[in-house]
């Protein structure tokens, strides 16, 4: 089993990245948000899951352990394979996906290509209560929090005003992303 790779990105396309590790190039299927954050020449650590099927051997990868855990947990639901699990993680980040399951939001889950309303309801039925939201939220906040911007103090301030931690993190991230976009067109 290949659990993690650390190497240099050779290329990125719409569904996968080619990562060179020790002279070997690994083609890794990844969620769209992970792929969008990668570029050729970048050093990356990718948490992987190897899937062996009748007609292919496929390596799936994630930039966070939380994404990998969510990917594996989704596949525990009967009828949900790696392609649908990856589609879900490309549609919703792990923290929002976990909240959609916890809140019973089948509409949010059904937005993923390859998953209908019945499949979304099945995921909710089988996974509700088994996803550790605190672990996923902590991982999401550590990974996505911009450094040296004062965002940590802003999040703490919003929480002291009664905001939920996840809502405060999400709001600060949106503002920060908007600010960097306007500074660097």
Do residues 106 and 53 both lie within one domain? no
Examine residue 178 and state whether it is found in any structural domain, yes or no. Answer: yes
Average pLDDT for 55-78: 93
Examine residue 126 and state whether it is found in any structural domain, yes or no. Answer: yes
Examine residue 138 and state whether it is found in any structural domain, yes or no. Answer: no
Average pLDDT for 81-96: 91
- Sort 68 into a burial class: Cβ within 10 Å, 0-12 / 13-18 / 19+: buried
What secondary structure, in 3-state letters, does the chain show?
Answer: CCCEEEEEEEEECCCEEEEEECCEEEEEECCHHHHHCCCCCCEEEEEEEEEECCCCEEEEEECCHHHHHHHHHHCCCCCCCHHHHHHHHHHCCHHHHHHHHHHCCHHHHCCCCCCCHHHHHHHHHHHCCCCCHHHHHHHHHHHHCCCCCCHHHHHHHHHHCCCCHHHHHHHHHHHHHHHHHHHCC
Q: What is the pLDDT of residue 163?
A: 74
Average pLDDT for 91-113: 89
Q: Give the global pTM.
A: 0.70
In this predicted model, what pLDDT tens digit does every residue of 53-64 receive, in sequence order?
999 999 999 999
Number of domains the chain contains: 3
Do residues 75 and 119 both lie within one domain? yes
Q: Give the pLDDT band (50/70/90) at residue 148.
A: very low
Q: What is the pLDDT of residue 141?
A: 47
Do residues 9 and 27 both lie within one domain? yes
Q: Which of 35-44, 162-171, 176-185 has the lowest mean pLDDT?
A: 176-185
What number of other Cβ atoms are within 10 A of residue 172's Cβ? 23
Examine residue 38 and state whether it is found in any structural domain, yes or no. Answer: yes
| End-of-domain residue from the set 62, 77, 107 | 62
Is 60 exceeded by the pLDDT of residue 40? yes
Q: CB–CB of 48/28 below 8 Å? A: yes
Average pLDDT for 83-92: 93
Give the domain extent around 49.
Answer: 4-62
Examine residue 139 and state whether it is found in any structural domain, yes or no. Answer: no
Q: What is the pLDDT of residue 143?
A: 45
Is 80 exceeded by the pLDDT of residue 147? no
Core vs surface per residue 43-56: b (16+ CB within 10 A) or e = ebebbbbebeeeee
């Amino acid at each position: 089993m290949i659990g993690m790779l650390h190497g240099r990105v050779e290329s990125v396309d719409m569904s996968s990245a080619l990562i060179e590790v020790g002279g070997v190039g690994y083609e890794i299927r990844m969620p769209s948000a992970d792929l969008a954050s990668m570029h050729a020449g970048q050093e990356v650590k990718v948490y992987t899951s190897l899937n062996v099927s009748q007609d292919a051997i496929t390596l799936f990868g994630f930039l966070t352990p939380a994404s990998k855990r969510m990917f594996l947990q989704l596949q525990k639901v009967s009828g949900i394979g790696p392609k649908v699990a990856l589609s879900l993680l490309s549609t919703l980040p792990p923290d929002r996906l976990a909240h959609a399951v916890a809140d019973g939001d089948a509409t949010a889950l059904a937005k993923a290509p390859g998953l209908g309303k019945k499949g979304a309801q099945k995921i909710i039925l089988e996974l509700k209560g088994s996803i550790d939201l605190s672990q996923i939220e902590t991982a999401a906040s550590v990974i996505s929090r911009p450094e040296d911007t004062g965002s940590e103090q802003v999040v703490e301030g919003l929480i002291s005003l009664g905001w939920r931690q996840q809502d405060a993190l999400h709001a600060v991230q949106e503002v920060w992303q908007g600010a960097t976009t306007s500074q660097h067109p």
